[in-house]
Structure formats: C-alpha cells, structure tokens
Amino acid sequence: MSDNTTRRWTRLQGLRKRWLLNTIMPVFVLLTVLVALFSIGVSNYYYGSMQKGLETRAEVLSNSFHEYFMGSGYSSYYQKAVQAAQNFEDKDYIELQFISGSGRIEVSSSGLTAGTTPETGDILQALAENKMGHFTGMDPETGEQIMAVSQPLLANGRVVGIMRFVTSMRLVNSQVLLAVLVIILIALLCLSMVLISNLMFINNVVEPVAVVSDAAKRISQGGYGFRVENTYADELGELVDNINDMSMKISQNEKMKSEFISSVSHELRTPLTAINGWGETLMVDPTSDPAQTRRGIRIILNETRRLSTMVEELLDFSKMEDGRFTLSIEEVDLQAEFEDAIFTYMELFRQDGIELAYESSEEELLPAISGDPERLKQVFCNLLDNAAKHGGAGKRIHASIAREDGWQVIRIRDYGPGIPEGELPFVKQKFYKGSSKARGSGIGLAVCDEIIRLHGGVFEIANAEGGGAVVTIRLQEKN
C-alpha cells in the first residue's frame, strides 16, 4: 500500500471516528437523560399515587372513627378497631393496623404483626405532632420495602391510638422496573437505528469528501484553475461546485494581480518620467522663459503629488490586506477637516480651469465626532482628486457638508459624464477601473470605503440627476 493510500485511509478512519463521536455521543447523552427523567417521572407517579391512595383511606376511616366512636370511650374505639380490621376488604395487599399511644400494634387486619412495635417514622411523627405521618423504606420486622401512612385518632383531645395503613412496594416496584426496562429498550433501539443510519451515511459521504480534500490540496499547492469532476446532485455537488469556483477565482485573482503589478509599474513610471524630464530641462536652462519655468515646476509638483498619492494608496492597501489598517480615534471637527481639504484643492482646480463650489452647513458649528482626522482628510483629498480626474470635463465640482438626523453628511459631486450603470456596483472594488481611461491604481476608492467603514459610516457612489457622479459620506454623531 502506497504512502498516499495509507494517509488517505488514515484520514477516512479519522473522519469516521469524529463523525460517530460527534453524532452518537449527543444522541446517547440525550437518550440517557430522557430515560433518567422518564424513570424518575414513572417512580414519582406510581409512588405518589400509592401514597395518595393510602392517605385518602386513612382520612375517610379516621373521620368515621371520630364521628361515631371516639366520643364513647376507649372500649368503643377498640371494638370498632377490631371490627374494621376484620371487615377490611383490601387486606390481601394492604394491612390495616391500630396502634396504641405507646407505639405498640394492638389490632392488625393480617393478625401477624399484632403485639409488635415498628417504631417507623410515620408512627413517631403521628405521636409527636398529632398529624398524619408517612414512611417509605424497609420494614424493621420483615425487611421488606413498604409504604405506610399513620393517622392519629383523638378522644377528648388526646391521642388514644393510631390508624396505620401499610402496603408492600414489591408490586409497584415491579411495575416501575418494567416501565423503565421498556423505555431503555426503546432508547437502545433508537440508538441502534441512529448508529446504523450514520454508518451508512458516512460510507456515502466520507469517501467523496476525501476526494474533494485531495483536490483542494492540489489547488493550494498552485494548481489554480484545476476543476473536480462533479458527479453528485446533493450538497456534495454544491461543495464540488464551490471548490471549482474557488479554483477559478484564485486563477482570476492571480491574473488580476499580474495585471495590477503591470499597471502600477506603468502608473509609477509615467510621473517619474515627467519629473525627471522637467527636472533635467530646468537644470539645463534655469534662466529660460519664467512662464515655461512655472509650468515645469507645476507639472513636477502635480506629478509628485500624484506619485505620493499612489504610494500612500499602495501602502494602505497592503495594510488592509494583512489587517494592519487601523485608526487613531480622537475628537474631530469634521467640518474644519473638510474645509481644509476644500481650500487646499480650490486653487489647484482653479489653475486647471475647474470651479470648486463649497456649501457649508446652515449651523455655525457642527458638533465634534469620533474619528481619525488624518484618515478622513485622506478620504476627502482622494475624492476631490477623483472628481477632477473623472469629472473634470464638466469644469465644475460641488462640495457640501450638512447635518441630517444625527448624521454629518458630506457630498462631492462632479458634472462630468458620470459612471456607466453597469459599473456602479463594482467601482469600490480593489483594482477595478472599468472603462475609465484616467490614470490611477484602481484602489483609491477601496481604501476610502474601508476608512469610512472603520468609522462606522456609510460610503455611497451614485450618478447624480442632471449628469455627473456624486459621492456621499455619512458619519454618525456621538450619542
């Protein structure tokens, strides 16, 4: 047997053991609890019914004694006790006893216990507390398990005797045991059915799972695009489809990563070429036309800014991918941070012939919110730059901040061509550039969306009525 076959067989055996342990054990525990509860319930029912029956007999007969005989003295009581014991109809399975104030049995329906002194708890309780006493346990005389009920009989305010009903628990114990054995047999039958059905199920599931596991291992080792033949029509078929889909998506992501690296390399090379070219031009002839010099410096500054933005986006994206993207939360004047970004870009846009109109909140001051001012300003700058890059053809950008139902809402709208409807659901995805020919890495909006999400806010992109695109940011105020 080869090593691969041995490992596979070991895996299958391990799966079977875990499967049985995780399915049979809970069922076994549940059935055990149910059997225990049923046994306790049956015992309580039978023993409670027996005790209730003895109590009822004792109350009825004691009332008869009190009403007709107890007022006539001890002789009348004794005579009635003998008569009641002789005429007791249920003497075959219940013994009626009359016990003196000293605890000695004077009269018994069986005649076998007369003259003995049981001294069980029911008798002692009836003598000490003048109320009905109960006892369940071993009979001191016979060693048999019994249930007894003792009712004190009063004459002229004192206890003259005790009426006691005693019955053996042998029959009721047999009935309880039979009921418990039946429920145990039913539980074992259920457990056997569960075990058999699970063994059959395991044989139909574990082997295909091992096949899928081997396929997943092959994919994890670099076999991107590998597909498993799907011959199943149930959940296993769905699992195989998911494995195949995962394989294709990994293959696509690998392709996207390669394209991204190529795109970023090109995007980084373009501003570096411009900076290098104009730097060499200005170095060769620094006393040339001042207008030309200003133009070269402006291009260098713009390309440097673009390059810096791209590097920041790449660094942020790297932090997002490995979970290091965090915020430094503090009290933030959102309006002040937004206006700083507005006035920073206003002159830059004016030089490019783009009008940036700003509309502030009707309230003088908006309340502070919790946030990271640097990250929020990064979002504002990125969105303003995007508005000019993608909507600059409209020559106008409108930005506003307002307070709406406990949220501070920022909107940035351009008047360009807008976003094709088919691309709207994907514009916030990383690397996605759609049909746009504008320069960029394709991760800026993904970074913005992550920053706003970490702030507990809402980041939306849509087409505006009348043309152009509008970005909406909602950040909640502190409660």
DSSP string for residues in 199-268: HHHHHHHHHHHHHHHHHHHHHHTT-TT--------SHHHHHHHHHHHHHHHHHHHHHHHHHHHHHHHHHH
Q: Are 445 and 460 in contact (CB under 8 A)?
A: no
Q: Are 225 and 247 in contact (CB under 8 A)?
A: yes
Strands annotated E in 326-468 = 330-332, 355-359, 369-371, 396-404, 407-414, 458-463
Buried b vs exposed e over 4-14: b needs ≥16 C-beta within 10 Å?
eeeebeeebee
Cα gap 260→279, rounded to integer Å = 28
Give the mean pLDDT of 178-192: 90
CA dist 347 → 342, 354, 357, 398 (Å): 9, 9, 12, 15
Q: Are 372 and 329 in contact (CB under 8 A)?
A: yes
What pLDDT, in 10s, does the model give residues 78-120? 788 888 888 888 888 888 888 887 888 888 888 777 778 888 8
Helix (H, G, I), strand (E, B), or coil: what is residue 60? helix
Q: What is the pLDDT of residue 224?
A: 66
Query: 168: which residues sit within 8 A by CB, 6+ positions away?
Result: 93, 144, 145, 146
What pLDDT, in 10s, does the model give residues 44-70? 888 888 889 888 888 888 887 776 555
Q: What is the pLDDT of residue 1?
A: 47
Top pLDDT among 283 and 421 is at: 421
* Dihedral (CA of 138, 143, 148, 153) sign: negative
Q: Are 468 and 388 in contact (CB under 8 A)?
A: no
Q: What is the pLDDT of residue 21?
A: 75
- Residue 459 pLDDT > 90, yes or no? yes
Q: What is the pLDDT of residue 165?
A: 92
Name the CA dihedral angle for 86, 91, 94, 100, rounded to a multiple of 10 degrees.
Answer: 20
266 band by pLDDT with thresholds 50, 70 and 90: low
Q: What is the DSSP pairing of strand 158-168 with strand 145-155?
A: antiparallel
Cα gap 402→457, rounded to integer Å = 15
73 band by pLDDT with thresholds 50, 70 and 90: low
- Residue 285 pLDDT > 80, yes or no? no
Helix (H, G, I), strand (E, B), or coil: what is residue 112? coil
User: Rounded to the nearest 5°, which phi and psi values hold at 380?
Assistant: -60, -45
Tokens of 264: 């970023």
Mean pLDDT of all residues belonging to the chain:
79
Query: Among 16-25, 180-189, 257-266, which stretch is predicted with the lowest mean pLDDT?
Result: 257-266
Tokens of 37: 């509860």
Give the mean pLDDT of 31-55: 89
User: Rounded to the nearest 5°, which phi and psi values hold at 201?
Assistant: -65, -40
Top pLDDT among 470 and 444 is at: 470
Give the mean pLDDT of 300-322: 73
- Residue 288 pLDDT > 70, yes or no? no
Q: How far is CA 98 from the centre of its chain?
A: 66
Cα gap 252→340, rounded to integer Å = 41
Q: Is the model's pTM score more than 0.75?
A: no
Q: What is the pLDDT of residue 470?
A: 92
Give the mean pLDDT of 193-206: 76
Q: What is the DSSP pairing of strand 369-371 with strand 105-108?
A: unpaired
411 band by pLDDT with thresholds 50, 70 and 90: very high
CA dist 146 → 24, 135, 140, 149, 409 (Å): 40, 8, 10, 10, 83
Tokens of 393: 């053809």
Helix (H, G, I), strand (E, B), or coil: what is residue 157? coil
- Residue 432 pLDDT > 80, yes or no? no
Query: 94: which residues sit within 8 A by CB, 6+ positions away?
Result: 54, 57, 88, 109, 165, 166, 167
Partners of 332 in beta bridges: 369
Domains parsed from the chain with CATH numbers: 1-214 (3.30.450.20), 235-318 (1.10.287.130), 326-476 (3.30.565.10)
- Residue 312 pLDDT > 50, yes or no? yes
Partners of 470 in beta bridges: 413, 462
| Single-letter amino acid code for the residue at 56 | T
User: Rounded to the nearest 5°, which phi and psi values hold at 430?
Assistant: -65, 140
11 band by pLDDT with thresholds 50, 70 and 90: low
Cα gap 128→97, rounded to integer Å = 18
Q: What is the pLDDT of residue 242?
A: 80
Q: What is the DSSP pairing of strand 355-359 with strand 396-404?
A: parallel
Tokens of 355: 């009008």
- Residue 155 pLDDT > 80, yes or no? no
- Residue 157 pLDDT > 90, yes or no? no
Q: What is the pLDDT of residue 226?
A: 67
Helix (H, G, I), strand (E, B), or coil: what is residue 159? strand
Query: 446: which residues sit within 8 A by CB, 6+ positions away?
Result: 317, 320, 428, 429, 430
- Residue 299 pLDDT > 70, yes or no? yes
479 band by pLDDT with thresholds 50, 70 and 90: low
Helix (H, G, I), strand (E, B), or coil: what is residue 167? strand
Give the mean pLDDT of 299-307: 77
Other Cβ atoms within 10 Å of 180 Cβ, number? 17
Give the mean pLDDT of 416-423: 84
